[in-house]
Amino acid sequence: MPSMAIPPPSPPERLLLIARWVERLNNVPGADRQRLRHAYTLAIRPDEEIASGRLVKILAVSTIAAHTPNRAPGLYDTYDPHIKGWIEDVWTTKDGMGRARVINVCQKNRVAEIELDFPYLLAAHAHKPERAPKKGTEAELVGMGLDTITRILPATTIADECLGADCMPSPPLLY
């Protein structure tokens, strides 16, 4: 029987980015006062590189508020801040970090865009392109200030996370 390489699975439609909310930024220039900007910092290393044009979904992390007997204090949980969109631009900051501007298309969220800080080595142009970057050892992830992803709560359906029909992308922008 001839051997044949099995192709890798196709990448997901949206890259999942798990990040911590940092602060509210100034409103979007030229927009009405209802469209906001927020800053996030990457908390978990993503499965793929962060690149301009990539569709993304943000899950925000926070410390678990309710501690049960089976959970240690200081654990994190995620919540859906309704940020789904695409990466418009990626650049380097003065301190050597990478920063990405994400345009949000969720109509139920007043946040029009976010700026996401992350270790610059995770940017698409920082190293050889490949399907998934090297995962890194625990020590390397700690050095980057990132954690590994660990499920601590049961999985929920997308409808539970996103309120189903309440979170619809806006119509495409026409230029």
Report the distance separating Cα 37 and Cα 46, nearest Å: 22
Would you say residue 128 has pLDDT above 70? no
Q: Is residue 174 part of a domain?
A: no
For residue 19, give its domain range: 15-155
Query: Which is nearest to 30 in space by CA: 104, 112, 91, 105?
Result: 112
Mean pLDDT (the chain, rounded): 73
pLDDT tops 90 at residue 41: yes
Q: State the sign of the Cα–Cα–Cα–Cα dihedral 125, 97, 143, 72.
A: negative
136-151 per-position pLDDT tens digit: 555 555 555 565 555 5
What pLDDT, on a 0 to 100 scale, did the predictor assign at position 127? 39
pLDDT at residue 118 greater than cutoff 50: yes
Instruction: Dump the DSSP string for 4-57.
Output: -PPPPPPPPSSEEEEEEEEEEEPPPTTS-TT-EEEEEEE-B--SS-B-TT-EEE
Residue 172 lies in a domain: no
Note the pLDDT of residue 117. 92
149-165 per-position pLDDT tens digit:
555 455 554 444 554 44
Element (H, E) at 104: strand 97-104
Neighbours of 159 (CB within 10 A): 11
Residue 96 identity (one-letter amino acid): G
- What is the per-residue pLDDT for 109? 84
Write the CB contacts of 171 (distance below 8 Å, at least 6 apart in sequence).
none
175 lies in a domain? no
- 3 within domain boundaries: no
**pLDDT tens figures, 12-38:** 788 999 999 999 888 766 655 567 899
| Position 82 in a domain | yes
Asked, for residue 161, whether it belongs to a domain, the answer is no
Domain count across the chain: 1
The answer to whether residue 35 sits within a structural domain is: yes
The pLDDT of 59-83, averaged and rounded, is: 74
Amino acid at 118: F
Residue 94 domain-assigned? Answer: yes
